[in-house]
């Protein structure tokens, strides 16, 4: 393994020139800067008490009380941890099966209308999870869910509840799984897009059946590109508390992440950051464990090189008689996870909580939209949101790609530590990251506190996603491509700019789109760092939600979708090499 790694990592300081050293040094410094404050705050808070003092206040002291209180609770072991394992494993499995099938259909087959399908599949990740959960509850609650009412009416069932019940473990798993699909789908399409089909063609030529080729060639070659989204999805499911709070809690399903919510919304006056951090630390441990596993499973780096200098052409399987089943599969997912929630969203924005009946049509009201559109603060929030989400996504994607290059290609001392640190951001609850940013930027005399720039800097701590995507993408590129550029006289920076980054475009676009959407939805950091000048759309949505003005919250969510969808469409349309559909 060491020999292989050494063979791949040929770059030394002399090879990359002073400009390369400067660029990589800046990227590494930025990555460390973005992540260190939230990480330090998490570790610091976990060992500070008592609970009625904030971790940084005079009087707070080092203590293990937070751990004693969190881990001394027997319910944790009898109920919460088993529930969590079932919930995470189930939702990741559901998400993977759906996402991989969809990604394969979109990237490797001649499925018609792929660009439209692509955008619709991503839809659930655009809508804030709280809104999505509410839409699903409208559809699948046992007594009055619209789908249940329709089924009971269609089949003349006399029961007053069911037959479907989202307020259950299967319901929670399906909901969380469906909400993870776009995330996994984006990452898997990036991996599939850069996979050279020559391997599969060789397998088929050798007489292997499509199934054998899939299991013996496709999956193994894609291992980094598959493991990264699976691991990330597992960690996201582990720390996600919106769906468990809305769908799980009514079914008395208590999972780990709910504990963080209750610690941050406690019965005392202040959020108990110490206990929340103590609950969150296992996320970091899980993240580290999964990253070790990931590194172990992909240790033979050369096995995953699929893009070489020997020619690479994307090829698509003709679906033939499977075309319609494929369309039905994709449409069913899109219908349940995108179209119906979108319809609920638009309905609530226009009709409030009136039932979807003909009688309600007369109650249509555009007040929610007209109020929003007549307020200048809304337009400022739109501008701020595009700026913050776009710029932070661009910075993090670029920094993540360069950090990945350092980890995969260079001999820089401490690169493995850098890899781990960049990954740890996924285990830090955003409330704790927000507190760290607040303390950092309120103290630093750089004049960004209260401006839109503080949000750009704060949002940049989410490096985990992009470093995983970039690393998987980079591992698919053969070193010879960079060597060829160098032999032809290309400086390191030129090679990166004109060879590596363009070939990594699918990964980089996936990363940008994902981070852009996350940036559009993020409200915790935005709320903590809020000022009159840096208001963003997600904060407006959250305030309407807290203010029980759901029609207005739905209107904002609808407009967020309207704003984000063209960006996704454009990113796929213009930032990636195009091919003709059909």
Partner 1 sequence: MTGQAAFGGQPREKGIMLKFYRNAAALSATVIAALMVVAPATAKNDAAIQALYGKAKAEGEVIVWGPTTAELEWIGPALAKRYPGINVKINADVRSAPKIIAEARAGKTSLDVFVFSMGGMLAIQRRGLLGTTDWQAFGVPKDQVYFGGQAGATHNIVYSAMYNTKLVKPGDLPKKWEDFADPKWSGKLVASPFLLPRLSGFLAMEWGEEKTANWLRTLINDRNLMVTRAPRQGILASGERPVSITDFSSVAQRLARGGASVGWAWFDIIPAVQFVAAPLKGAPHPNAAKFVAAWLAGAEARAAREAHNFGASVRAGSNTMRAKEVAKATGKVIIEDPKNMKVRAGLYKKLSPIVTGRKK
Q: Which of 98, 101, 83, 100 is nearest to 172 (CA)?
A: 83
Is residue 254 within the footprint of partner 1 (CB under 8 A)?
A: yes
The residue within the footprint of partner 1, chosen from 25, 57, 299, 300 (CB under 8 A), is: 57
The residue within the footprint of partner 1, chosen from 22, 116, 370, 480 (CB under 8 A), is: 370
Q: Is the peptide bond before 50 cis (omega within 30 degrees of 0)?
A: yes
Q: Using CA atoms, how far apart are residues 252 and 172, in angstroms rounded to an integer?
A: 11
The residue within the footprint of partner 1, chosen from 67, 79, 162, 308 (CB under 8 A), is: 79
E strand or H helix at 49, and its extent?
strand 48-49
Contact 479, 8 (CB under 8 A): yes
What are 161-168's contacts with CB under 8 Å, separation 24+? 164/140, 165/140, 165/141, 166/136, 166/137, 166/139, 166/140, 166/141, 166/142, 166/247, 167/141, 167/142, 167/247, 167/250, 167/251, 168/251, 168/253
Is residue 442 within the footprint of partner 1 (CB under 8 A)?
A: yes
> 3-state class of 477 per DSSP?
strand
Q: Using CA atoms, how far apart are residues 528 and 544, in angstroms rounded to an integer?
A: 17
Q: What's the min distance (Å) between Cβ of 86 and partner 1?
A: 15
Is residue 353 within the footprint of partner 1 (CB under 8 A)?
A: yes
Is residue 143 within the footprint of partner 1 (CB under 8 A)?
A: yes
Which one-letter DSSP state was computed for residue 414? T
Beta bridge partners of residue 49, listed in sequence order: 61
Residues 454-483 touching partner 1, rule: CB under 8 A, are none
Query: What is the per-residue binding string for partner 1 in 390-419, x denoting contact by CB under 8 A?
Result: ------------------------------
Estimate the crossing angle of helix 464-475 against helix 169-193, to 10 degrees.
40
Is residue 380 within the footprint of partner 1 (CB under 8 A)?
A: no
Is residue 73 within the footprint of partner 1 (CB under 8 A)?
A: yes
Q: What's the min distance (Å) between Cβ of 261 and partner 1?
A: 8
The residue within the footprint of partner 1, chosen from 22, 43, 547, 570 (CB under 8 A), is: 547
Which one-letter DSSP state was computed for residue 476? T
Stretch that binds partner 1, among 30-38, 221-229, 417-425, 442-450 (CB under 8 A): 442-450
Contact 402, 471 (CB under 8 A): no
Beta bridge partners of residue 271, listed in sequence order: none
The residue within the footprint of partner 1, chosen from 1, 211, 324, 443 (CB under 8 A), is: 443
Contact 567, 514 (CB under 8 A): no
Q: What's the min distance (Å) between Cβ of 204 and partner 1?
A: 50
Is residue 208 within the footprint of partner 1 (CB under 8 A)?
A: no
For partner 1, which is the closer residue by CB, 73 or 480? 73
The residue within the footprint of partner 1, chosen from 49, 90, 145, 519 (CB under 8 A), is: 145
Residue-level length of the chain? 582
Residues lying near partner 1 in the complex (CB under 8 A) are found at 52, 54, 56-57, 73, 75, 79, 130, 133-134, 137-138, 141-145, 161, 167, 245-247, 249-250, 252, 254, 258-259, 262, 264-265, 267-271, 273, 348, 352-355, 363, 365, 367, 370-371, 374-375, 435, 438-439, 442-443, 449-450, 527-528, 530-532, 543-551
């Amino acid at each position: 393994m060491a020999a292989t790694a050494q063979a791949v990592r040929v770059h030394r300081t002399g090879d990359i020139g002073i400009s390369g050293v400067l660029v990589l040094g800046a990227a590494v410094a930025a990555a460390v800067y973005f992540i260190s404050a939230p990480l330090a705050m998490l570790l610091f808070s976990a060992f500070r008490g008592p609970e009625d003092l904030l971790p940084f206040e005079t009087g707070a002291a080092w203590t293990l009380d937070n751990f004693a209180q969190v881990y001394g609770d027997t319910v944790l072991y009898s109920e919460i941890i088993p529930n969590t394992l079932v919930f995470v494993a189930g939702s990741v499995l559901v998400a993977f099966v759906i996402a991989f099938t969809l990604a394969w259909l979109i990237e490797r087959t001649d499925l018609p209308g792929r660009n439209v399908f692509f955008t619709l599949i991503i839809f659930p990740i655009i809508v804030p999870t709280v809104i999505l959960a509410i839409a699903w509850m409208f559809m699948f609650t046992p007594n009055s869910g619209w789908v249940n009412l329709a089924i009971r009416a269609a089949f003349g069932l006399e029961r007053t509840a069911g037959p479907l019940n989202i307020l259950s473990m299967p319901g929670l798993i399906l909901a969380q799984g469906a909400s993870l699909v776009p995330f996994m789908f984006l990452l898997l399409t990036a991996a599939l897009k850069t996979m050279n089909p020559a391997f599969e063609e060789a397998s088929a030529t050798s007489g292997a059946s499509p199934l054998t080729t899939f299991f013996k060639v496709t999956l193994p070659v894609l291992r980094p590109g598959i493991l990264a989204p699976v691991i990330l999805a597992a960690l996201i499911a582990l720390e996600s508390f919106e769906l468990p709070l809305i769908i799980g809690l009514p079914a008395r399903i208590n999972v780990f992440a709910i504990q963080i919510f209750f610690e941050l919304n406690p019965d005392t006056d202040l959020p108990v950051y110490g206990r929340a951090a103590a609950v969150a630390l296992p996320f970091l441990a899980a993240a580290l464990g999964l990253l070790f596993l990931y590194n172990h499973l992909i240790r033979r780096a050369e096995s995953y090189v699929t893009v070489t200098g020997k020619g690479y052409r994307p090829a698509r399987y003709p679906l033939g008689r499977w075309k319609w089943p494929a369309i039905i599969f994709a449409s069913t997912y899109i219908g349940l996870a995108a179209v119906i929630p979108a319809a609920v969203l638009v309905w609530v924005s226009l009709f409030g909580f009136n039932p979807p009946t003909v009688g309600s049509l007369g109650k249509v009201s555009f007040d929610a939209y007209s109020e929003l559109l007549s307020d200048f603060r809304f337009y400022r929030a739109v501008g701020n949101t595009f700026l913050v989400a776009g710029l932070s996504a661009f910075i993090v994607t670029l920094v993540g790609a360069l950090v990945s290059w350092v980890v995969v290609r260079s001999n820089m001392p401490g690169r493995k530590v850098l890899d781990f640190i960049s990954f740890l951001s996924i285990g830090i609850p955003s409330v704790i990251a927000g507190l760290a940013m607040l303390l950092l930027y309120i103290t630093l005399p750089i004049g960004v506190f209260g401006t839109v720039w503080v949000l750009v800097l704060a949002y940049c701590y989410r490096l985990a996603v992009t470093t995983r995507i970039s690393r998987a993408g980079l591992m698919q590129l053969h070193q010879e491509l960079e060597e060829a550029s160098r032999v032809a006289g290309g400086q390191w920076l030129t090679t990166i700019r004109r060879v590596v980054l363009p070939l990594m475009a699918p990964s980089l676009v996936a990363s940008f789109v994902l981070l852009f959407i996350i940036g559009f939805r993020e409200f915790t950091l935005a709320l903590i760092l809020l000022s009159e000048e840096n208001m963003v759309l997600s904060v407006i949505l959250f305030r309407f939600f807290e203010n029980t003005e759901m029609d207005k919250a739905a209107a904002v969510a609808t407009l967020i979708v309207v704003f984000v969808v063209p960006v996704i469409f454009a990113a796929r349309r213009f930032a990636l090499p195009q091919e003709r559909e059909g």
